[in-house]
């Protein structure tokens, strides 16, 4: 344990402390505290990544000096550091964006939505940071619940009946998912007497209790990640939330359970090629069915939500490739890169869609004509994000999908490659539908466009997703640190 391990710990605790203090500070105080925490959080995430890269080993912090199995460990490896950076960047973008809708200026009475939004944002930030750094399976359960409890009210902040119904459905799905996960955790403890990820590595034999636990935890995490066929809650929830909320839910919340799933199958649970094929099969179905469903949507927000269903599918394509010597390293990089690039692109896209909807007064895909006049920069952000989702070079999505495609072929599992290519075409299809409709000339803009800093945020996130693909591949060596496997 070195002093550096304090960095990821603080990256978790500061947002949690902010969330706890938020009610006492009131809406305006919470907003200002959040904005003040953003640079600190960014420095902590950057410092964590630099320390992991420089030391070449994961950072581990033993809480209260108690070492596992009795104590709890928390720390950062390559994937953890990458996700800490991602969550901080997305949260920062969303926070700046959300000031227009949830800000409280001096002397303004405290509004309910503003009172709730800032602590919920902080809880998602802290919850995700915890989910990617905690090393104990039960602490991870608490992280999942933090994410759920923060995400559900964001869906129905506007208090409309449809969003309340979507939130209730989401909550029941999520609770079911976490309780199944917890049952698996219980059986793991019964079988191994520890819940520490590091100690469990390589220690679990494929006995019946462990196999049942593996099935339960996988099913529970699939429901939380909205991996098909357990995705039904996602489209109404992600489409119903306000734009800033949708961006958080699609970009970050589903990634928490995904990272836990990765940690379980790459290191903790006994290897199971059949389960990995099945998991990737669900991913393939998600890519294809989610893409087709997105093509068929008439509302822009629902289209983007179904696009998330499809993009989640790409995340799990890495699983069958992680056990193949020689390609595991590249497949791992591809999977993590997909998680990061989707987070950046999808948050940018949801914010852009929110701005377009706001200025057009609706989100019907068929009636988007004129969007290029009233919302040119959000439309550009939408287009740039779509490049990453499609996997067009030089975007981050291209790097991710190319790595997955080439490793699938190298591993002799060419069928995943076909799915990736088809998925790219479907994504291109729904992106084209939106862009072609939006580029048609509509009624002339009534007034000159006011400057809106939110445009810059959406554009910035989309650009970051694009620039990710221009990083030299060698810099992804960070992601390999702490990876378990061939």
CA separation for the pair 258, 224 (Å, rounded): 8
| Residue 200: CB minimum distance to other proteins, A | 11
Residue ranges in 103-242 assigned as alpha helix (H): 112-133, 137-155, 161-192, 197-200, 208-225, 234-240
DSSP codes of every residue in 269-290? SPP-HHHHHHHHHHHHHHHHHH
Strand partners, 73: 62
CB closer to other proteins out of 53 and 67: 67
CA-closest candidate to residue 374, choices 362, 386, 392, 366: 362
- The piece of 165-173, 226-234, 288-296, 348-356 that touches other proteins (CB under 8 A) is 165-173
DSSP-based three-state secondary structure for 196: strand
- The piece of 174-182, 242-250, 414-422, 431-439 that touches other proteins (CB under 8 A) is 174-182
CB closer to other proteins out of 42 and 149: 149
Helices 6-55 and 112-133: angle between axes, nearest 10 degrees: 40
| Residue 153: CB minimum distance to other proteins, A | 4
| Residue 111: CB minimum distance to other proteins, A | 8
CB closer to other proteins out of 214 and 374: 214
Give the list of residues 6+ apart from residue 266 with CB closer than 8 angstroms, or none.
322, 332, 483, 484, 485
| Residue 424: CB minimum distance to other proteins, A | 35
List the interface residues with other proteins, window 188-207 (CB under 8 A): 189-194, 207
**How far separated are the first and last CA of the chain, in Å rounded?**
26
| Residue 119: CB minimum distance to other proteins, A | 5
CA-closest candidate to residue 150, choices 93, 64, 87, 219: 87
| Residue 482: CB minimum distance to other proteins, A | 20
CA 190 to chain centre: 31
CB atoms inside a 10 Å sphere around CB 364: 12
CB closer to other proteins out of 138 and 415: 138
CA separation for the pair 20, 6 (Å, rounded): 20
CB closer to other proteins out of 187 and 461: 187
| Residue 311: CB minimum distance to other proteins, A | 27
Q: Which residue in 150, 305, 390, 434 binds other proteins (CB under 8 A)?
A: 150
| Residue 177: CB minimum distance to other proteins, A | 11
Residues 331, 321: contact at Cβ < 8 Å? yes
Binding status of residue 292 toward other proteins by CB under 8 A: no
List the interface residues with other proteins, window 8-27 (CB under 8 A): 9, 13, 16-17, 19-24, 26
- The piece of 46-54, 179-187, 393-401, 449-457 that touches other proteins (CB under 8 A) is 179-187
Helices 396-410 and 376-390: angle between axes, nearest 10 degrees: 10
| Residue 478: CB minimum distance to other proteins, A | 24
Binding status of residue 152 toward other proteins by CB under 8 A: yes
Q: Which residue in 107, 159, 443, 450 binds other proteins (CB under 8 A)?
A: 159
Residues 181, 220: contact at Cβ < 8 Å? yes
CB closer to other proteins out of 107 and 159: 159
| Residue 301: CB minimum distance to other proteins, A | 21
Binding status of residue 269 toward other proteins by CB under 8 A: no
| Residue 168: CB minimum distance to other proteins, A | 5
Total H helices, total E strands in the chain:
19, 2
Binding status of residue 408 toward other proteins by CB under 8 A: no
CA 47 to chain centre: 21
List the interface residues with other proteins, window 376-395 (CB under 8 A): none
CA separation for the pair 38, 88 (Å, rounded): 7
Q: Which residue in 101, 103, 209, 442 binds other proteins (CB under 8 A)?
A: 209
Q: Six-digit token pair at 469? A: 């693909």
List the interface residues with other proteins, window 130-149 (CB under 8 A): 130, 138-139, 141-143, 145-146, 148-149
The residue assigned the tokens 């390559």 is 78
Binding status of residue 179 toward other proteins by CB under 8 A: yes
List the interface residues with other proteins, window 212-251 (CB under 8 A): 212-213, 215-216
| Residue 7: CB minimum distance to other proteins, A | 12
Q: Six-digit token pair at 13? A: 């605790």
List the interface residues with other proteins, window 104-123 (CB under 8 A): 110-113, 115-116, 119-120, 123
How many residues touch other proteins under the rule CB under 8 A: the total is: 78
CA separation for the pair 463, 395 (Å, rounded): 9
Residues 5, 47: contact at Cβ < 8 Å? no
List the interface residues with other proteins, window 58-97 (CB under 8 A): 61-66, 69-72, 74
CB atoms inside a 10 Å sphere around CB 96: 17
């Amino acid at each position: 344990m070195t002093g550096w391990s304090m960095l990821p710990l603080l990256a978790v605790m500061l947002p949690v402390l902010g969330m706890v203090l938020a009610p006492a500070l009131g809406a305006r105080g919470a907003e200002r505290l959040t904005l003040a925490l953003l640079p600190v959080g960014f420095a902590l995430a950057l410092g964590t990544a630099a320390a992991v890269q420089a030391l070449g080993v994961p950072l581990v912090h033993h809480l209260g000096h108690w070492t596992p199995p009795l104590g709890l460990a928390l720390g950062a490896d390559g994937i953890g550091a990458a996700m800490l950076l991602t969550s901080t960047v997305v949260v920062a973008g969303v926070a700046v964006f959300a000031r227009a809708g949830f800000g409280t200026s001096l002397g303004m009475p405290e509004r309910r939505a503003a009172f709730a939004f800032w602590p919920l944002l902080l809880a998602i930030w802290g919850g995700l940071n915890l989910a990617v750094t905690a090393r104990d399976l039960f602490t991870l359960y608490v992280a999942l619940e933090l994410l759920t409890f923060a995400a559900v009210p964001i869906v129905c902040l506007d208090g409309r009946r449809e969003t309340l119904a979507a939130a209730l459905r989401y909550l029941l799905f999520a609770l079911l998912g976490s309780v199944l996960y917890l049952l698996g955790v219980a059986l793991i403890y019964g079988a191994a007497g520890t819940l520490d990820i590091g100690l469990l590595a390589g220690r679990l034999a494929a006995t019946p209790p462990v196999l049942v636990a593996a099935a339960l935890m996988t099913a529970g995490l699939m429901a939380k990640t909205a991996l098909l066929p357990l995705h039904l809650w996602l489209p109404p929830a992600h489409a119903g939330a306000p734009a800033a909320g949708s961006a958080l839910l699609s970009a970050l919340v589903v990634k928490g359970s995904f990272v836990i799933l990765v940690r379980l199958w790459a290191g903790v649970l006994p290897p199971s090629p059949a389960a990995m094929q099945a998991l990737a099969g669900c991913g393939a179905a998600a890519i294809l069915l989610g893409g087709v469903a997105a093509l068929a949507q008439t509302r822009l927000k629902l289209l983007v939500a179904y696009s998330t269903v499809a993009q989640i599918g790409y995340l799990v394509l890495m699983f069958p490739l992680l056990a193949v010597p020689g390609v595991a390293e590249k497949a791992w990089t591809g999977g993590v890169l997909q998680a990061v690039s989707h987070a950046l692109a999808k948050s940018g896209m949801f914010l852009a869609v929110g701005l377009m909807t706001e200025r057009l007064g609706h989100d019907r895909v068929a009636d988007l004509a004129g969007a290029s006049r009233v919302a040119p920069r959000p439309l550009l952000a939408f287009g740039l994000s779509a490049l990453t989702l499609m996997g067009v070079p030089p975007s981050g999505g291209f790097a991710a999908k190319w790595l997955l495609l080439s490793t699938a072929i190298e591993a002799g599992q060419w069928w995943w490659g076909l799915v990736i290519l088809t998925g790219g075409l479907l994504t291109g299809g729904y992106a084209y539908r939106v862009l072609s409709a939006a580029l048609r000339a509509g009624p002339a803009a009534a007034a000159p466009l006011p400057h809106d800093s939110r445009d810059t945020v959406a554009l910035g996130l989309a650009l970051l997703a694009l620039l990710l693909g221009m990083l030299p591949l060698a810099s992804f060596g960070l992601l390999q640190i702490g990876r378990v496997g061939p």
